[in-house]
Amino acid sequence: MKAIQNLSRRGFLKTSAGVAGALVLGFRLGDKAAMAASGGADLFNPNAWLEITPANKVTIHVPWTELGQGVTTAVPMLLADELAADWEAIDIKLAWNDPRFGNMGTGGSRSVRTSWDPVRQAGATARVMLENAAATEWKVDASSCKASGGSVVHAASGRSATFGELVGAAATQDAPADVALKTRAERTLIGKDLPRRDIRAKILGETEFGVDQRIEDMVYATLAVSPTFGGSLKSFDDTTALAVPGVLQVVETPSGVAVLATGTWAAIRGREALQINWDPGPHTDLDSAAISARLAAADIADGQAMRDDGDIDTALAEAATQVTASYEVPYISHSPLEPMNCTARITGDQVEVWAPIQSVTWGANVAAQAAGVEPQNVRLQPTYTGGGFGRRLMVDYVGQCVEIAKVSGKPVQLFWTREDSTKHGFYRPTSRHNMHAGLDTEGRITGWRHHLVAPSIGGQLNPQGMADGRDESAVNGAATIDYTFANLQVVYNMTNTAVPAGWLRSVYNTQNALANECFLDEIAQAAGQDPVALRLRHLPADGRLARTLRVAAKKWGWPAKAPAGRGYGVACHASFASYVTTMAEVEVEGRQVRVVRILTCVDCGPVVHPDGLRAQMEGAVCLALSALLREEITIAGGQVVESNFDDYPLLRLDEMPPVEVLTIDGEDPIGGIGEPGYPPVGPAVLNALFDATGQRVRKLPLAGNFEG
Amino acid sequence: MSKFDLHVNGQRHTVDLDPETPLVWVLRENLDLRGTKFGCGISECGSCTIMMDGQAIRSCVTTVAEAAEKKIVTVEGLADGEKLHPLQEAWEEEQVPQCGYCQPGQLMTAAALLEQKPRPTEAEIVAEMSDVLCRCGTYGRIRKAVDVAARKGGKR
Ligand code: FES
Ligand code: FES
């Protein structure tokens, strides 16, 4: 989930005559070494994204998971536009863990931006080959043959052939070394509000999510795992569980005790009837107050300077004005609506897995390990996925399911209840941000120190790998800040705990942007400056973030005075190679905070699917607002307190503000859109809350921390 | 175990089950109507909402015994053959779903609302639809789509 934008690693393989005479065009993303080696035999065994059969069936295989972000529309649009295909007739499939796709994983708002160049090139290459094939057949000049709408046409003679009719000839063509991609004006699909390809099935109830998988002789399973972090199984008695009607078998696996049954309900009831004696492990003293106290006590002298420009100590000491503030955010849960689940079958040394999953390749590796086979013996088919938000980058449930299939000898579907999903997550880490700024007599920020104290996701997953306490990803959005401050220091105290930590939509940007942008608002107040003007003063004037800020401010009519009981706030942040400004209006009555309006301006370079972008911004607002208002995972006795949506309530429809989305659609380098909308939402709302009430809330969530 | 007659989407089924079995599992696993989704099991999220005798009910807290002999409609029964329900048309028009997991419950909640109040006010739409969670943030579109369907004469 690193915010990389590394298109230079793309590779491109030629074509080969595929199975059954189909034209199979493949190319590889990533893997440079394999690319270099691909001049030989590999060349004729490429990654298959696109297939065209003689019967004119055009299929695009998408190696990114459809989590609701619309990737099964946007990525095929890139290919189909350059291919000049008939969009309506294209079949779109979710790719399985075909090793020819390289490492498959959906995160980091990467899918569309890393596909942008290579997938369009793949489409263009195929189009040129089809045009060349037609020219050869018709013995005319290739430049006179043009593909459009799924056929190649020779205008002068009026001849035309469907792609399907040309695949035999096209497959024998050499792939052109260089293809020209369409100019912006020539694009027919990219940039258009096409209907999403997955909507019809979703409104008919026909989409098959992970929980909807059914395989022959499948049984349903639940798994009891240690309620405490680091606990282990001592003993269990399954007598009562086995007496529950429908319960077939109880097995001990490396992860816990599994109950297998003829249905999910029986598996749930069977698990309730298990008598289990757990060794609670070493963390039973761990609770939220202790973690918070640890964060507050962290000594900056023990931290790692992740960025250190100029001389921060002198800048702060010599400042005309100093401003300090500390912010704290809690652990929060992803809570996608589809609970964790997985379906697996082991036949001899072959393993098949169906899972709603983001980390496809990692999941397959974990499945292989659990089954005791080689990774190439695992076929993992990602399913349509009922939300992910980063939770399904972790593949714990896949390993658990394969273990159960192995020990029980049965094809099995493992189902996590909502309680399981809430209590056994990988939570967005809690963090504390000690901010310190110095201003000169002109009100210019001369020194900026961001002291971040937080658990490290990477450091907890791989303690050896980050033994030096340096986690670059933890300071995403802090060390990578867009503002130009002559003296800028970001110090990180890695403060790991036993609470599992994971990547949640926009990851550490969620909290680092909150600290940056709320603190800037406090500085503006201290210096008597307008918050937008203060930001513009410290951003490169011709920069992309400043542009979103100017566009949003203009649309909003900033600066403006909110009516009584209301407030306006602003925040901007760049992440995942995109630039976003968000403005919020809140209405406050006592402790009641209602966000009544959100305006967001996004610069992600070219906009592939405008309505998809809007939907992603709406989703980011929903998730960020939900976290801001009341989400908090609390820890007591070494375990998670919350269990279901009654004690971990999510944002509801009546709390969702209208979201207006502006875009700066252009040909600047492309950025992601899945995550960048999230970070500025929280601080914009908190700044609006200050505008309305004069109160700074520096600890989240608002529930319990805003007194009204 | 006991036998129950279920009337779902115009078809009759007989099942032999523990009377306490929540309807959501019966639909999904015994009748293979997998459109209805489980999200919480405690009547909080609304993903499992179906229509029973014209009312929106939560199939995760409704037992098979309670559902017997009632007229049940699930998302699979919302369209009339090839003809989409006006709500489904509006859902398509407004491009509502993201992940889609909550959408069967959203649609069935809206369908029951329009059964009872063919022209709901905005406040009624908001009140009713706030019962169903969507983690992806499709709320604004849902609100609009229910209104669009109602204006077109939202009852099937
Ligand atoms: S599953 Fe029934 S309300 Fe959530
Ligand atoms: S569309 Fe994903 S939960 Fe509603």
Is residue A2 within 8 Å of A110, Cβ to Cβ?
Answer: no
Residue-wise DSSP of A524-589: HHHHT--HHHHHHHHS-TTSHHHHHHHHHHHHHTSS-PPPTTEEEEEEEEEETTEEEEEEEEEEEE
Q: Say whether pLDDT at A274 is over 50.
A: yes
pLDDT band of residue B155 (cuts 50, 70, 90) is low
Phi, psi of A599 (to 5 degrees): -120, 135
In angstroms, the CA A699 to CA A632 distance is: 11
Question: Which residues, numbered 633 to 672 in chain A, qualify as contacts with chain B under a Cβ-Cβ cut-off of 8 Å?
Answer: 644-646, 649-654, 656, 658-659
Q: What average pLDDT does the structure give for chain A?
A: 92
Task: Estimate to the nearest angstrom the gap between the alpha carbon of A111 and the chain centroid.
Answer: 9
Of A358, A625, A653, A656, which to mutate for an interface test with B (greatest number of B Cβ within 10 Å)?
A: A653
Q: Say whether pLDDT at A31 is over 70.
A: no
Phi, psi of A399 (to 5 degrees): -60, -40
In angstroms, the CA A457 to CA A331 distance is: 12
Q: Say whether pLDDT at B156 is over 90.
A: no
In angstroms, the CA A271 to CA A248 distance is: 12
Is residue A399 within 8 Å of A369, Cβ to Cβ?
Answer: yes
What pLDDT sits at residue A43?
21
Is residue A413 within 8 Å of A213, Cβ to Cβ?
Answer: yes
pLDDT in tens, A639-692: 999 999 999 999 999 999 999 999 998 999 999 999 999 999 999 999 999 999
Q: Say whether pLDDT at A604 is over 50.
A: yes
Between A4 and A429, residue with greater pLDDT: A429
Shortest alpha-carbon distance between residue B84 and chain A (Å): 9
- What percent of chain A is modeled with pLDDT above 90? 85
Ligand 1, CB cutoff 6 Å, lining residues: B 38-41, 43-48, 58, 60
Inter-chain residue contact B99 with A338, CB threshold 8 Å: yes
Is residue A130 within 8 Å of A165, Cβ to Cβ?
Answer: no
Chain B neighbors of A200, CB-CB under 8 A: 92
In angstroms, the CA A606 to CA A603 distance is: 8
Is residue A600 within 8 Å of A672, Cβ to Cβ?
Answer: no
Average pLDDT rounded to a whole number, residues B124-138: 98
Written as six digits, the tokens of A366 are 């974990």
Strand partners, A324: A436
Of B41, B79, B98, the CB nearest to A619: B98
What pLDDT sits at residue A285?
97
Written as six digits, the tokens of A151 are 């056929």
Q: Say whether pLDDT at B18 is over 90.
A: yes
Q: At what angle do helices A531-538 and A509-527 cross, to 10 degrees?
A: 110
Question: Which residues, numbered 54 to 113 in chain B, qualify as contacts with chain A under a Cβ-Cβ cut-off of 8 Å?
Answer: 74-76, 78-79, 84, 88, 91-92, 95-104, 107
Is residue A679 within 8 Å of A477, Cβ to Cβ?
Answer: yes
What pLDDT sits at residue A122?
87
In angstroms, the CA A101 to CA A365 distance is: 15
Q: Which residue of A has its CA nearest to B36?
A: A205
A245 interfaces chain B, CB cutoff of 8 Å: yes
Amino acid, single-letter form, for residue A59: T
Inter-chain residue contact A656 with B140, CB threshold 8 Å: yes
Inter-chain residue contact B135 with A622, CB threshold 8 Å: yes
Q: Where are the beta strands (DSSP E) in B44-98?
A: 49-52, 55-58, 71-73
What pLDDT sits at residue A22?
45
Residue A330 region, left (φ>0) first, then alpha (ψ -120 to 50), else beta?
A: beta
Is residue B93 within 8 Å of B54, Cβ to Cβ?
Answer: no
Written as six digits, the tokens of A183 are 């100019």
Q: Say whether pLDDT at A11 is over 80.
A: no
- Element at B4 (helix H, strand E): strand B2-8
Question: Which residues, numbered 381 to 410 in chain A, qualify as contacts with chain B under a Cβ-Cβ cut-off of 8 Å?
Answer: 384-389
- The answer to whether the CB of B127 is under 6 A from ligand 2 is no
What pLDDT sits at residue A49?
82
Of A212, A385, A645, the CB nearest to B34: A212
- The answer to whether the CB of B95 is under 6 A from ligand 2 is no
Amino acid, single-letter form, for residue A610: P
Phi, psi of A386 (to 5 degrees): -80, 65
Written as six digits, the tokens of A696 are 């700074």
Of B135, B138, B146, B148, which to mutate for an interface test with A (greatest number of A Cβ within 10 Å)?
A: B135
Residue A331 CB partners (closer than 8 Å, separation 6+): A427, A428, A429, A430, A499, A501, A632, A633, A634, A635
- Rounded to the nearest angstrom, the distance between the alpha carbon of A348 and the centre of ligand 2 is 38
Written as six digits, the tokens of B58 are 């939560």
B129 interfaces chain A, CB cutoff of 8 Å: yes
- Element at A76 (helix H, strand E): helix A71-83
In angstroms, the CA A320 to CA A445 distance is: 10
All structural domains of chain A, each given as residue ranges with its CATH number in brackets, are 13-203 (3.30.365.10), 210-281+340-415 (3.30.365.10), 288-331+428-693 (3.30.365.10)
Of B24, B40, B45, which to mutate for an interface test with A (greatest number of A Cβ within 10 Å)?
A: B40
Q: Say whether pLDDT at A21 is over 70.
A: no
Inter-chain residue contact A205 with B34, CB threshold 8 Å: yes
Is residue A17 within 8 Å of A175, Cβ to Cβ?
Answer: no
How many Cβ atoms sit within 10 Å of the Cβ of residue A119? 28
Written as six digits, the tokens of A394 are 């972790």
Is residue A511 within 8 Å of A473, Cβ to Cβ?
Answer: no
A23-27, A627-631, B12-16, B142-146: range with lowest mean pLDDT? A23-27
Q: Which residue of B has its CA nearest to A383?
A: B99
- Element at A511 (helix H, strand E): helix A509-527
Ligand 1 site-directed mutation target among B34, B36, B60, B106, most atoms within 8 Å of CB: B60
Residue-wise DSSP of A297-332: H--GGGSEEEEEES-HHHHHHT-SEEEEEEEEE-BB
DSSP code of A121?
H
Q: Say whether pLDDT at A267 is over 70.
A: yes
Chain A neighbors of B148, CB-CB under 8 A: none
pLDDT in tens, A574-589: 999 999 999 999 999 9
In angstroms, the CA A480 to CA A5 distance is: 14
pLDDT in tens, A490-515: 999 999 999 999 999 999 999 999 99
- Rounded to the nearest angstrom, the distance between the alpha carbon of B47 and the centre of ligand 1 is 5
Inter-chain residue contact A417 with B138, CB threshold 8 Å: no
Ligand 1 site-directed mutation target among B48, B75, B102, most atoms within 8 Å of CB: B48
pLDDT band of residue A608 (cuts 50, 70, 90) is very high
pLDDT in tens, A539-568: 999 999 999 999 999 999 999 999 999 999
What pLDDT sits at residue A95?
92
In angstroms, the CA B64 to CA B3 distance is: 10
pLDDT band of residue A48 (cuts 50, 70, 90) is low
A191: nearest Cα among A670, A658, A575, A576: A670
pLDDT in tens, B67-83: 999 999 999 999 999 99
Inter-chain residue contact A652 with B133, CB threshold 8 Å: yes
Q: What average pLDDT does the structure give for chain B?
A: 97
Q: Which residue of B has its CA nearest to A417?
A: B40
In angstroms, the CA A546 to CA A483 distance is: 10
Considering Cα of B32, then B37, then B39, then B43, what sign does the dihedral take? negative
Is residue B107 within 8 Å of B84, Cβ to Cβ?
Answer: no
pLDDT band of residue A376 (cuts 50, 70, 90) is very high
> Which atom of ligand 2 sits closest to the CA of residue A386?
2
A48-52, A467-471, A513-517: range with lowest mean pLDDT? A48-52
A499: nearest Cα among A633, A397, A390, A394: A633
> The tokens 């009544």 sit on which residue?
A596
Cβ burial A381-415 (10 Å sphere, 16+ → b, else e):
bbbbbbbbbbbbbbbbbbbbbbbbbbbbebbbbbb
Chain B neighbors of A656, CB-CB under 8 A: 137, 139-140
Ligand 2 site-directed mutation target among B40, B94, B138, most atoms within 8 Å of CB: B138
Written as six digits, the tokens of A213 are 């998988």
In angstroms, the CA A474 to CA A296 distance is: 17
pLDDT in tens, A63-118: 999 999 999 999 999 999 999 999 999 999 999 998 878 888 898 998 889 889 98
The protein residue with its alpha carbon nearest to ligand 1, atom 3, reads B43
Between A1 and A590, residue with greater pLDDT: A590
Q: Is A446 helix (H, G, I), strand (E, B) or coil?
A: strand
- The answer to whether the CB of A387 is under 6 A from ligand 2 is yes
pTM: 0.94
Phi, psi of A382 (to 5 degrees): -65, 140
The protein residue with its alpha carbon nearest to ligand 2, atom 4, reads B134
Q: Are strands B49-52 and B71-73 parallel, antiparallel or unpaired?
A: antiparallel
Residue A640 CB partners (closer than 8 Å, separation 6+): A422, A423, A424, A425, A633, A634
Average pLDDT rounded to a whole number, residues B28-56: 98
A216 interfaces chain B, CB cutoff of 8 Å: no
A288: nearest Cα among A642, A707, A647: A642
